[in-house]
Structure 1
Amino acid sequence: MLVVGFPTGAFQANCYLVAPGEGEPCVIVDPGQDAVEPITEALRKHRLSPVAALLTHGHFDHVFAVAPVCDGNDIPAWIHPEDRGMLTDPLQGISLGGADFFGGKLEMREPKEVRELTDGAALDLAGLSLTVDHTPGHTRGSVVFRTELDEGGRVMFAGDTLFAGSIGRTDLPGGDMRTMNTTLRTKMLPLPDDTVVLPGHGPSTTIGRERMSNPFLLGLDDETIAGPGRGL
């Protein structure tokens, strides 16, 4: 499997192009701010043909370029229905202070074709088999995408649910720490240790590494977990 990843925009949100190999169809995960040019260059360099954009959640730093990328390549966007409203009203997912930073105005629009994700769905796209897990906590509609490699091993595109050493923040509209704890306990901890985690910000990690060292996972049996996490 070929994975091409790069950070985009002011918040350095990771965008990924995923394909069975060079010269194959691909999916685009989280086309965020300023992502059009690097996506276009990566498609050309690796001779990839996009078939869909997959959105881990609706925050604008992960979806800002979804309309031009999808409409420019005539492909659909996939998003959980709980976060779909942020495609046309990105301020739904931003704090009051954050909205003030943008002058209270941040314009976006939906792509021509939007399809909705459901928990446990199996997506067969671009020669890839991807499992969708609904992972609310950072936003109500957060999801992760998991796949198993033909050569062995597992990969998860985690969005802002899980990072190396941290988790997505829960203090923005739609976030909830109790819900995040449930997500981490029921959706993240049961995964095999060798699952490679490709997060929405920062470097890659593994479930095994996070199980042993991530303070937000180590503290899941406590009544409370301190700290708001990371992300937009």
Structure 2
Amino acid sequence: MQSLEPFYEKKLTCIFCGKPFTTLRVRSRFSIPHQIDTDFCPYYRVGNYNPHFYYVNVCPECGFAFSEEFSDQFPRGSKEVIHAQITKQWIKRNFGQVRDIQQALESYKLAVLAASIKKEKNAILAGLCLRLAWLYRIENNAEQEKRFMGLALNAYEASYVHSDFAGTSMSELNVLFMIGELSRRLGQYQKAVLYFSKIIQHKDAKDNQNIVNRAREQWSVAKEENSHSRG
């Protein structure tokens, strides 16, 4: 019997130029993390593959990079800017094969640029920056990890203010948790405590015990870290 490959091909159509292309995805049985950080950064053992390497689709024709959470609507004038800033600069190459960490990082940076020009929802931009921070954490690049955690935090805060997480995979409680946890990781302990408290006191708290329990734990951690930082 033929053994199952870790990857499978997915056929896509570029939402910018309309050209078809194929990209890879990791089969779920080959992407089981053995450890997950408090901000949901996963770690994989040898023989398993990080599906976040393949989260971003990169069109080999025009260089537009997008996730499946991107809207296929483009604000007026954005297509011209994308053409000038991405497609005209693009050196054709294929991201549809097995990716190493550098290709994964590049795919996210292309997607962050595309999302910014396209004025994609803050919640989606935040998710891209967060995953970039995770990849830099795996690389032990603390400086770049911190930089992208900061960008993710700003985007989650904007998402919370404008409630633009509606229609994405994020709920209000998820967004509040990410603001709290990223604030804590960036040493902004009082802000972290405030946002974890918002979850505990939230009107939907009783229906979301899992995230409320997690918020209580991280609230305690942030309080302790805050007292240490003052001491």
Q: TM-score range with shorter-chain normalisation? A: 0.3 to 0.5
Normalized against structure 1, the TM-score is what? 0.32
Question: Which is richer in strand?
Answer: 1
Q: Which structure's residues are more often helix, by fraction?
A: 2
Computing the radius of gyration over CA atoms, which structure comes out larger, 1 or 2? 2
